[in-house]
Amino acid sequence: MSETQRPDVIVVGGGIGGLSAALALTRKGLTVRLLERAKEFGEVGAGLQIAPNCTRMLADYGLLDEAKTLGVLPQAMVMKDATDGSELTRLDLVDLERTYGFPYMVIHRSDLHGIFLRACQRAGVELLTDQQCVGYENTPTGASATFADGHVEEAEVVIAADGMHSVARGLLVDDQPVNSSYVAYRGAVTIDKVMENQVSTTDVVVYIGPGCHFVQYPLRGGEMFNQVAVFQSPKALAGQDDWGTPDELDKAFEGMCEPIQLGLPLMWRDRWWRMFDRNPILNWVTGKIALLGDAAHPPLQYMAQGAIMAIEDGWVLAEHVGAQQAQRTADGGTGVDWDSALAAYNAVRPEHCRRVLSTGRVWGELWHVDGVKREQRNIILRGRDTYDYTFTDWIYGPTALTPEQEAPLYPIIPLDSVKLPEGAEV
Ligand SMILES: Cc1cc2nc3c(=O)[nH]c(=O)nc-3n(C[C@H](O)[C@H](O)[C@H](O)COP(=O)(O)OP(=O)(O)OC[C@H]3O[C@@H](n4cnc5c(N)ncnc54)[C@H](O)[C@@H]3O)c2cc1C
């Protein structure tokens, strides 16, 4: 057992999910100790897109202005066909902000992580590094986490924000990450490196193509430019271990439009990210141990909602903690009814994240189709009204506390129902 005083809450994992949850719970007057396995806090990677459902929470935390100074507010999200570069559809992000009340932003992931880290430091979260959690257990007075050095931390509640390979997840389900056979390359460079490359410095541009896609957007107040190249690995499909290598990167984008060819040489080639998710699970709580972030719902990235869902988890949990504190106070008591707070969290978050994960898989498949299906998809996307938000309301709207069955539904158009024009060549 730790020598120091027992905190109200232990958070395991100091990624964006763990830090934001620690901040949210500290704001409710709880003492929080966060333990991270790495020797230092930090994030690997480049850009993150954060939509109004996340910037709404940053505003609530008083962090939106700082995020705005570090990020970029793009004017539009433009989807193009990767083969010929033609525009398929767009979201007007200025109008989107008017619609949802909060902006769509792109930000370097280490900047967002740093914003939460500094906010946790200011709020008095106890932050410990070099702490590898190896086990979780419910106890008569709460829950505990055991660390590789043998010491045990106990609190009223333990939040496991320990990512895709969460140790705590094993208490709830015996599952494995699902291999999508897709791999992501990233590359963030100074803006001068791309000025001659036909790039937009104001928009998020997503080129979607057969078995691949390519994303571009500015970062850090426009000083940097971020690119993500994602493709299906033939070696992964063939069951080879050594998959997603740089030779596959170049081959995957052969024949794609010129802006992609100009962007490819700028990708980092010494590191790549194989894309796994997990099947959704609808129970994240066992006793006083709760999963949060990628530990509960690691997604494929097509909805750009992974970090956002993690941030929402902490915000929603803290809202329910606040409601339980208010109830206790009204009843003349103190503290938190954790069973009720965790049950309320578990009643609303898993179903929403299930929907995001499942939609993400379908959305990704739609990006990557070829042949007739590509033509059918393009007809649907080109026919979309730019100002129709029926398919984003359930994600971007203020729905975080709303049970999913009451949230507005998005329309799904089956590709097979789309008739190609007579004589269309595919
Ligand atoms: C290519 C790509 C693009 C993406 N784009 C977006 C986007 O645009 N928008 C978006 O919202 N999301 C995006 N995501 C998803 C997003 O990055 C993740 O969903 C998010 O970072 C998850 O945060 P987390 O804190 O839950 O988990 P993690 O970031 O994995 O953090 C887990 C932390 O726990 C620590 N840890 C792990 N095990 C232990 C242990 N046993 N003991 C102690 N500590 C431990 C780890 O070191 C780590 O610090 C993208 C992902 C990828 C791969």
Residue 410 is among the residues annotated as catalytic for this protein: no
Topology at the third CATH level for domain 9-73+101-175+281-367+389-406: FAD/NAD(P)-binding domain (3.50.50)
Residues 346, 284: Cα–Cα separation, whole Å = 6
pLDDT score of 425: 67
Beta carbons of 234 and 174 less than 8 angstroms apart? no
Residues in contact with 159: Cβ distance below 8 Å, sequence separation at least 6, in sequence order: 9, 10, 11, 12, 18, 21, 25, 290, 292, 317
Q: Mean pLDDT of successive 10-residue segments in the chain (426 residues)?
A: 80 98 98 98 89 98 97 97 97 97 97 98 98 98 98 98 98 97 96 91 97 97 95 98 96 97 96 96 98 98 96 98 95 95 97 93 94 94 91 89 68 77 73
Residues in contact with 44: Cβ distance below 8 Å, sequence separation at least 6, in sequence order: none
pLDDT digits (tens, 9 = 90+) for 282-303: 999 999 999 999 999 999 999 9
168: left (phi over 0), alpha (psi -120 to 50) or beta: alpha
How does 177-190 read in b/e, with b if 16+ C-beta sit within 10 Å? eeebbbbbbbbbbe
Closest C-alpha to ligand 1, atom 14: 306
Name the H helices within 229-293: 234-237, 246-252, 258-263
Residues in contact with 35: Cβ distance below 8 Å, sequence separation at least 6, in sequence order: 10, 11, 12, 13, 14, 128, 131, 133, 145, 147, 153
Establish whether residue 294 lines the binding site of ligand 1, counting it when its CB lies within 6 angstroms of any ligand atom: yes
State how far the alpha carbon of 67 is from the alpha carbons of 26, 63, 106, 253, 255, in Å.
20, 6, 9, 33, 38
Per-domain residue ranges for the chain? 9-73+101-175+281-367+389-406
Residues 191, 218: Cα–Cα separation, whole Å = 8
Q: Dig out the tokens for 338 from the structure.
A: 């954790």
pLDDT score of 408: 55
Establish whether residue 306 lines the binding site of ligand 1, counting it when its CB lies within 6 angstroms of any ligand atom: yes
Establish whether residue 227 lines the binding site of ligand 1, counting it when its CB lies within 6 angstroms of any ligand atom: no
Closest C-alpha to ligand 1, atom 17: 307
Residues 122, 115: Cα–Cα separation, whole Å = 11
